[in-house]
Amino acid sequence: MNSFSLAIAVLLISSGYFFLGTRALTANRAAGARLHSLPHYYGLFAGLMAALPALALLTVLAIGDDIVFNQLALGFVPDAVKAGETYKEVIVLAQISNVVNGINFGEQPDWVYEAAEAWAGWQATSTTLKTITALALSLLGGLFAYRMLNPSFRSRNAVERILMTVLAASSAIAILTTVGIVFSVIFESLRFFALVPVSEFLFGLTWNPQFEGAERAGSGQMGLATYGSVPLFAGTLLISVVALSVSVPV
């Protein structure tokens, strides 16, 4: 079961606990019990407890899987390859990933196929563990919350605390992501302008960045990279003018 299907299954379990909790406390109120909160708050508490821990686990595992698999896959790379001048981890991992996904560009070294086979095994094991763990956590979390439900339980307060915690965590992640993006732009800009003079970038009339595969692609211009931004900005402005001239009258 892939992550998307697993998330849907967790949400279905959560929905089931929501309806069970709501129905149980609705029946209690009909029997004359005085509830602290409206019945749907009891259902929401059970549903959230069934969904949030499992979804949080899936998110962490989805992020952690690739990090762990990448490091394990690099262990298959021979030392002679790592010592080469053209060795780049990104390219090696892309080769392995392509083979895992059934995309082959010519014949690959044996160690690439070995790493891809191991990667496929890790993925299968990870998927099985994620499925069992997430479903069990969802069922147990919902059951734990459901057993806590009674007319005197302050379910509205509990739901509000859970939602406030989720919102605070989301805000913290958004802030940290923004800070990371800003610092990344700053550091990469400093690296770029350490290699390319500011005057060349601002007033240069040729935008011709090169990449590692340019020579193999037959461009014949390896080592002639230029980064003048004038044509880049001029092209952007031209596209904007054309787009606005068409869209504004409409």
Q: Is the pLDDT of residue 57 over 80?
A: yes
Average pLDDT of 214-238? 72
Domain boundaries along the sequence of the chain? 3-193, 198-247
Q: Which of 94-103, 168-177, 200-209, 241-250 has the highest mean pLDDT?
A: 168-177
Helix or strand (DSSP H, E) at 107: none
**Nearest CA-CA partner of 48 in 167, 129, 128:** 167
Three-state DSSP at 207 gives strand
Each residue's pLDDT tens digit, 143-165: 999 999 998 899 999 999 999 99
Helix (H) or strand (E) holding 226: strand 226-227
The SS3 assignment for 101 reads coil
Residue 216, pLDDT above cutoff 70: no
CA separation for the pair 208, 131 (Å, rounded): 48
